[in-house]
Chain A
Amino acid sequence: MEAELLRVEEVAELGRAIVIAPENVAKDLREFVGEDVVGGIFPGVIFDGKVYNDRVVAVRCDFEVYRGSSAANAKGRTLLTILDGWSERAESLLEDVYAKLGNSVTYFGGGAGSLNGKIDCLFIGKEFFRDDAVFVALRESFDVAIRHGWIATERTFFANRTSGRKIIELDWEPAFDVYASTLHELGAELRRENFLDVAKAYPFSITRARGEDIVRDPIAVEGDEIVCAGRVAEGSLLRLMRGDKESLIRAAEFCAEELGCVEITLDCVSRVLYLGEDFRREAKFMRGSFGALTIGEVACVRGYPIFHNKTVVMGCRRTNS
Chain B
Amino acid sequence: MQKDKLLAAVLELEKTAKPGAVEEVLKTFGRELLVLFDLDAFIVEVPLIELLVKIPENASCEGFSFEGAAIKVTVCGDIDGKLEKILRDILKKLDDVVLHSVYYEFTSKVFERSTDAIFIVDRERRVLQQNKKAREIFGNVEKLPEFGSVCEFGGKFYSVAEYDFDRVKAVVLRDVTKIKRLEEAAKESEEMFRTLAEATPVAVLAYTDERFVFANRAAEEITGYSRDELLSGIFWELFPEDEKEKVKAAMQKRLSGETVEPYVLRIRRKDGKEKIVQVYGSTAFWKGRRVGIVAISDVTRIVELEEKYRKIVESSPNHVAVVDLDGRFVEANPAMARSVGTNPVGKTLAELFDRDTAEDMLRKVREAIEKGSIVEAKEERDERVFITSYIPLEFGGVRRCSMIARDVTKIEEERKRLEELTKMLELINSILRHDVLNALTSARAFLEVYEEEKDESILEKVKAAIDRAVSIIRNVRSFEQIVKRGELRVVSVKKFAEDVAKNFDVPISVEGDCEVLADEGLRTIFENIFQNAVQHGETDRIDVKIKPVGNWCEVRIADYGKGVPDEIKDKIFEEGFKHGPRASTGLGLYAVKKLVERYGGEVWVEDNKPHGAVFVLRLRRFEAR
Q: Give the interface of A toward B (CB within 8 A).
A: 95, 98-104, 156, 206-211, 213-214, 233-237, 239, 302-304, 306
- Asked if B55 and A209 sit within 8 Å, CB to CB, the answer is no
Residues of B with C-beta under 8 A to A103: 40, 56
CA gap between A209 and B58 in the complex, in Å: 25
Known: A233-B12, A235-B15. A306 touches B58 (CB 8 A): no
- Asked if A237 and B12 sit within 8 Å, CB to CB, the answer is yes
- Asked if B56 and A235 sit within 8 Å, CB to CB, the answer is no
Residues of B with C-beta under 8 A to A237: 8, 11-12
- Asked if A208 and B40 sit within 8 Å, CB to CB, the answer is no
| Further contacts, 4 of them, CB under 8 A, given A209-B10, A209-B38 | A95-B31, A208-B38, A213-B5, A304-B31
- Asked if A303 and B12 sit within 8 Å, CB to CB, the answer is no
Q: Which 6 A-B pairs have the closest CB atoms?
A: A102-B56, A235-B15, A209-B9, A207-B8, A304-B34, A210-B38
**CB-nearest residue of chain A to B56:** A102
Residues of A with C-beta under 8 A to B15: 234-235
CA gap between A237 and B12 in the complex, in Å: 7
Known: A95-B31, A209-B1. A102 touches B41 (CB 8 A): yes
A149 smallest CB distance to B (angstroms) = 17
**CB-nearest residue of chain A to B11:** A237
- Asked if A101 and B32 sit within 8 Å, CB to CB, the answer is no
- Asked if B36 and A303 sit within 8 Å, CB to CB, the answer is no
Q: Give the interface of B toward A (CB within 8 A).
A: 1, 4-6, 8-12, 15-16, 31-32, 34-41, 55-59, 77-78
CA gap between A290 and B120 in the complex, in Å: 66
Q: DSSP majority for the B interface?
A: helix
Known: A95-B31, A208-B9. A101 touches B58 (CB 8 A): yes
Residues of B with C-beta under 8 A to A100: 56-58
Residues of B with C-beta under 8 A to A156: 8
Q: Mind listing 22 A-B residue pairs with CB under 8 Å? A: A99-B57, A101-B58, A102-B41, A207-B4, A207-B8, A208-B9, A208-B35, A208-B36, A208-B37, A208-B38, A209-B5, A209-B36, A209-B37, A210-B37, A210-B38, A210-B78, A233-B32, A234-B15, A235-B12, A235-B15, A235-B16, A303-B77
Residues of B with C-beta under 8 A to A98: 56
- Asked if A207 and B34 sit within 8 Å, CB to CB, the answer is no
Residues of B with C-beta under 8 A to A302: 40
Residues of B with C-beta under 8 A to A102: 41, 56-59
Number of A-B contacts (CB under 8 A): 74
Residues of B with C-beta under 8 A to A104: 58
Residues of A with C-beta under 8 A to B55: 99, 304
Known: A100-B57, A235-B15. A214 touches B35 (CB 8 A): yes
**CB-nearest residue of chain A to B37:** A209
**CB-nearest residue of chain B to A234:** B15
- Asked if B16 and A233 sit within 8 Å, CB to CB, the answer is yes
- Asked if B12 and A206 sit within 8 Å, CB to CB, the answer is yes
Residues of B with C-beta under 8 A to A208: 5, 9, 35-38
- Asked if A207 and B37 sit within 8 Å, CB to CB, the answer is no
- Asked if B56 and A209 sit within 8 Å, CB to CB, the answer is no
CA gap between A6 and B251 in the complex, in Å: 103
CA gap between A234 and B12 in the complex, in Å: 9
CA gap between A217 and B5 in the complex, in Å: 20
CA gap between A302 and B58 in the complex, in Å: 14
Residues of B with C-beta under 8 A to A236: 12
CA gap between A234 and B20 in the complex, in Å: 15
CA gap between A31 and B36 in the complex, in Å: 45
**CB-nearest residue of chain A to B83:** A209
CA gap between A254 and B239 in the complex, in Å: 109
- Asked if A303 and B39 sit within 8 Å, CB to CB, the answer is yes
**CB-nearest residue of chain A to B58:** A102
Residues of A with C-beta under 8 A to B4: 207
A187 smallest CB distance to B (angstroms) = 25
Residues of A with C-beta under 8 A to B58: 100-102, 104
**CB-nearest residue of chain A to B14:** A235
- Asked if B1 and A210 sit within 8 Å, CB to CB, the answer is yes
CA gap between A302 and B76 in the complex, in Å: 11
Residues of A with C-beta under 8 A to B32: 233
CA gap between A282 and B239 in the complex, in Å: 115
